[in-house]
Amino acid sequence: MKPNFQPKNIVNTIEKLTEDGLKVVEKASLGTSWDSVVVATDQMAFELGKFTSVNSHLNAVMFNDEFNQQYEKTLPIITNFYSDISTNKVLYQAYKALKKTNLNQQQQHIVKDAIQSFELSGVGLEGRIAHRFKAIKKKLSLLSNEFSKNALKSTNEWKKIVGKEELKGYSNNELAKIKTDKGYELSLQMPVYMDVMTYLDNRDLRAEVYKAYASRASELGMTSTDYDNKPIMDEILSLRAEMANILGFEHYAQLSIASKMVNKVDEVIQFLSNLVERSKPQAQLELAELKDFSGIDLKPWDLGFYSEKLKEQKFGFKKSDLTPYFPEDSVLNGLFSTIKNLYQIKIEQIQQDSYHVDVKVLDVSDKDGLIGRIYLDLYARENKRSGAWMADYQPLIEPHKPVAFVVCNLNSPTKDKPALFEFDEIVTLFHEFGHALHHLLTKVKYPCATGISGVPWDGVELPSQYMEFYAFEKQVIALISKHYKTGQSLPDDLFKKLIASKNFHSALAMLRQCEFSLWDLKTHMSNSDTYEVLTQVRLETALMDSIDESRFLNTFEHIFSGGYAAGYFSYKWAEVLAADAYYYVQGEGGIGSNASKDFLYNVLQVGGSLDFMQQYIKFRGKKPSVNALLQANGIF
């Protein structure tokens, strides 16, 4: 179950696997049974997926130009291979013929999804149009990698050495993170950037760091313009529009929605606009209060700083008061105990080498033995893609167990202290483990629908956002908190202050996420420049002007190098499901209740093998309500 973390000759390996894979597909396309068609192609996809997953993962977490050059050569090979499969008319007909055979409910759903996937992948295209469609997919895979590479390199290139006297507002915790032999080094790595925005008194330096961060991968790059992503973004959007038009859709947003739970683009826009309308009055009050408190003409680089000061005044604590109570070992042990209490499974670290010294290898087991494995990569570092994510290395395919990568960019240990996590970082960790549990706890034995496979994109965030809620429970915080010096759990008074502050500026945050989602949909519905689209969306969502240097779309990897194109709304839609699910479970007894187990049985274990919304209704008893999301955010 240990991935090969020293890949060699990856181009030759991928070429050989895809050549062999096409032979498997050729044989499977002549099959007439579930085993001869689906099982055969699943097995082939499993063998190839192990290699492509590791290559993609290493390129994201240990980027270097030499490996990336080889990795880029594999992208057209892989894209062509999957294009050939998804447009194989004989295989398509074999799947259609399976509908008339004696299949169980899960198999019927899998075949139905596969047929839709064929049709959305251009199986009905012929001749020149079919060749063009395939060329678009190949080009998009290369552009996405180029976008991600530029985002990473532009993040890494900016650094600034400053003296301690310029860092007023920093505690010893923040100073320890950036201390070097040359002085104190500021960078655009997320933990460092967030400390600048939150604690640094020096407004001019905050502005400098903010502008460097906001202008990454653009023509305004503070140290280099070599990584300008705008031409790549324009080409990606143009190619997506052309792809959608070829398939008969009006725009790419329609193509994206076709494979999701929601029915129409207008339905999503109405959902998001409703959230904006419900949130805006409260957000205006939140911003007005912040302006009054600051006493200055607020700029974007002031928001985090004065928000933290106002939060401290209103609730009687600051973020840095919490971090000593959340050292890494306590957080992980408490998280694992919480998961055990929820789902009766055990997570233990094992001693095994991995691709980086920081990576922890975790075995997940239940009363019957090993369930799967997680490779946990926690800390921020150079040459590692920003953000946090879960990636599946291997699905459940007997005799193989599911394996996942969980990646974060959190605070790392220093010479004097263990890694001390911000509470926001802990919520992120819970989120990614929600994804991992969805992948590992599956009972589906069909790899194409096991774990997260086959789950509609607007449902895949449900388990992760549902898991976030547990980070705020008192019994869970008692498990994850242990002061790194005294061993004391988070005191009751601090816990109460933390909970009281949970929805501080939640309406402003809601507007921001709706802005991203609306822009994402509308930029995939329009031929206008994507920044012009953003300007129009901000007329509805924004309460403060943006600065001229802002080019944040140029590093928006979810949209341009991830899987969220015209689907970023999935976070908000899944938040509705997650809040609705959590409040229902709480009302039925919470952790350890039958309702909690029902979530496991009806959502986590079935993966993409059955209709996702029907499974949610089976668990919940009815469709989710948007009021649960508003309640969770304290918006009424």
Q: Is 175:167 a contact under the CB 8 Å cutoff?
A: yes
Res 468: pLDDT: 97
Res 474: pLDDT: 97
Q: Measure the CA–CA gap between 391 and 176, rounded to whole angstroms.
A: 31
Q: Measure the CA–CA gap between 521 and 537, rounded to whole angstroms.
A: 10
pLDDT surpasses 70 at 2: no
Q: List, in order, residues 6 or more apart from 135 with CB less than 8 Å away.
A: none
Q: Is 573:458 a contact under the CB 8 Å cutoff?
A: yes
The pTM for the full model equals 0.92
Give the other-Cβ count within 10 Å of 38's Cβ. Answer: 24
Measure Cα distances from 195 to 168, 172, 280, 594 in Å. Answer: 12, 12, 28, 42
- Which residue of the set 432, 468, 515, 557 is catalytic? 432
Name the band, by pLDDT with cuts 50, 70 and 90, for residue 242. very high
540 is an active site residue: no
Domain with CATH 1.10.1370.40 in the chain: 324-500+570-632
The CATH classification of domain 10-124, taken from the options 2.60.120.620, 1.20.1050.40, 3.40.50.2300, 1.20.120.1760: 1.20.1050.40
Q: Is 441:371 a contact under the CB 8 Å cutoff?
A: yes
Can you tell me the mean pLDDT for 95-108? 94
Nearest to 452 by CA among 388, 387, 405: 405
Q: What percent of the chain lies above the pLDDT cut of 70?
A: 99
Instruction: State the residue for tokens 């599946």.
Output: 392
DSSP 485-536: TT-PPPPHHHHHHHHHTTTTTHHHHHHHHHHHHHHHHHHTS-SS-HHHHHHH
Run of H or E residues at 360: strand 360-366
pLDDT digits (tens, 9 = 90+) for 189-236: 999 999 999 999 999 999 999 999 999 999 998 777 889 999 999 999
Q: Is 142:72 a contact under the CB 8 Å cutoff?
A: yes
The HSE-up count of residue 322 (CA atoms within 13 Å, CB side) is 25
Assigned CATH for 324-500+570-632 = 1.10.1370.40
Res 239: pLDDT: 98
Domain with CATH 1.20.1050.40 in the chain: 10-124
